[in-house]
Amino acid sequence: MTSKIPVTEIDPATDSPNKNNKPESVDLYASRKKIYVKEVKGFFQKIRKVSLWALMGMYFLFCWVSVDGQPLIYFNLPDREFNLFTATFYPQDFILLSGMLIVAAFGLFFITALFGRIWCGYTCPQTVWTFIFMWVEERIEGSRNKRIKLDKSPNSAEKVTKKSLKHGIWLLIAFATGLTFVGYFYPVRDLSLDLFTFQANGWAYFWVSFFTIATYMNAGWLREQVCLYMCPYARFQSVMFDSDTRTVAYDFNRGEPRGGRKKSASKEELGLGDCIDCGMCVQVCPTGIDIRDGLQYECIGCALCIDACDDVMEKMNYPKGLIRYATENELEGRPSKLLRPRTFGYGAVLVLMVTAMVFTIMTRVPAQMEVLRDRGALYGMTGQGLIENSYTVKLTNKAEVPQTFELKVSGLDTIAILDNEPVRVPSGESRTRPTVVVVAPEAIEQSNNAIQFRAVSQQDKTLVLENESRFVGPDR
């Protein structure tokens, strides 16, 4: 469906609608032109390949590989635990998770201010999966020209076979991706078994299907449209750019005036710049833009056009780098600065956040104690004439081994815990212990007294948990 709006021409002389012209309709909808990306080899493409395969490998590895029966990364939602490389984090540690997200955000801002959209070009999941899908497409349907020809050709056995094979492999990759994603929240081996034996619950089927379809659509069909129309980062990242941000750029001064020529021809005699107008930089661009038109929000910084142009320059015996990573200042012949207030600010926040995170992790206590005073009664008297107060002590063991805690209490003369048995807490679990504290009446000088609970681990005597509470007695 197309949307049209009437547009009335404005008379520049009067700055009002031109009455002589009838309103025209402008079509607001432009259908997508399929982009046939030409495969290119080169230095930046090698870096991209290493980065993309490494990230893809990590995505599957962290979910499927277990150490001591524990996946390397696992969000155990029912038990409210987060396992990260054999360490277990609990809801109380979620400040660390928030810290990690803030570090990641400032890391992204910092890198963007320095090098533009290298996150998009080399590491973004949309880029990674699109790259894998395009790689499969190229292996099955052939080079750019062959793919264009195949799409234009009428249906034939060969065309149907190639298309079916391509979509079949895409769906398999998408399914592996969806299954693995859900596997970060549901033990992945159990999930696979349950799915194929129809034992999994409906939500498992729903989420695996959802992520399978999302991967297949995003990487197979939507591709650059996700970057152009759906990704919010593409829209706001330009605020982090300045004239010293290094982005993929065409050296206009060196390349223009562009024009075709023979390899043996002298560009000086022809009055031409270095750009031979071959269009290779456009053919390899996954978003279908022409970098020679300047910096555009559609550019994901993948550097494919650099490799394509360097190859052309080499063949023409011209110096490489007509398209290269460069700053606006550099291209204009002005000096370029790496350290400037913007990068310094992002860098400083990043260093502070990383320091705070490392400090928090290093000083993280592998256990926690909470003491809740029973509010049902202020105090009671035992048969021996002692004043008693009741508490609930909750002990959480965040260590990888079970721990047994001895409870102690101090703060008043004669203070003691009745029936004081050590509390054994398995790894990654919590135990609550109803606790009665008694004090001789003559040891109390006021009705409300501060007391201290201590829990000492039998396995690690240096692990001492402390918590303050109140002991209430009769008015004096």
Span from 284-292, 347-355, 366-374, 390-398 in contact with ligand SF4 (CB under 6 A): 284-292
- The two structure tokens encoding residue 439: 């004090």
CB atoms within 10 A of CB 79: 10
Residue 208 binds ligand SF4 (CB under 6 A): no
Q: What region does 363 belong to: left with phi over 0, alpha with psi -120 to 50, or beta?
A: alpha
Q: Which is nearer to ligand SF4, 34 or 80 (CB)?
A: 34
Residue 177 binds ligand SF4 (CB under 6 A): no
Residue 409 binds ligand SF4 (CB under 6 A): no
Span from 27-35, 259-267, 270-278, 423-431 in contact with ligand SF4 (CB under 6 A): 270-278
CA atoms lying within 13 Å on the CB side of residue 399: 18
Q: What is residue 190's three-state secondary structure?
A: helix
- The two structure tokens encoding residue 387: 């004043």
CB atoms within 10 A of CB 216: 22
Give φ, ψ of 114 to 5 degrees: -85, -50
Residue 304 binds ligand SF4 (CB under 6 A): yes
Q: Which is nearer to ligand SF4, 191 or 309 (CB)?
A: 309
Q: Pattern 218-257, binding to ligand SF4, x per CB under 6 A? A: ------------------------------x-x----x--
Among 280, 371, 409, 444, binds ligand SF4 (CB under 6 A): 280
**Could you give the CA distance from residue 86 to residue 67 in angstroms, rounded to a whole number?**
7
Among 136, 179, 182, 289, binds ligand SF4 (CB under 6 A): 289
Residues contacting residue 280 through CB under 8 Å, at least 6 positions apart: 38, 40, 305, 308, 309, 311, 312
* Dihedral sign of CA atoms 84, 89, 94, 96 in order: negative
Q: Which is nearer to ligand SF4, 188 or 322 (CB)?
A: 322
Q: Pattern 364-383, binding to ligand SF4, x per CB under 6 A? A: --------------------
Q: What is residue 370's three-state secondary structure?
A: strand
Kindly state the smallest distance separating residue 224's Cβ from ligand SF4, in Å: 8
Q: Which is nearer to ligand SF4, 242 or 256 (CB)?
A: 256
Which positions touch ligand SF4 (CB under 6 A)? Answer: 248, 250, 255, 275-281, 284-287, 289, 291-292, 299-305, 308-309, 312, 322-323
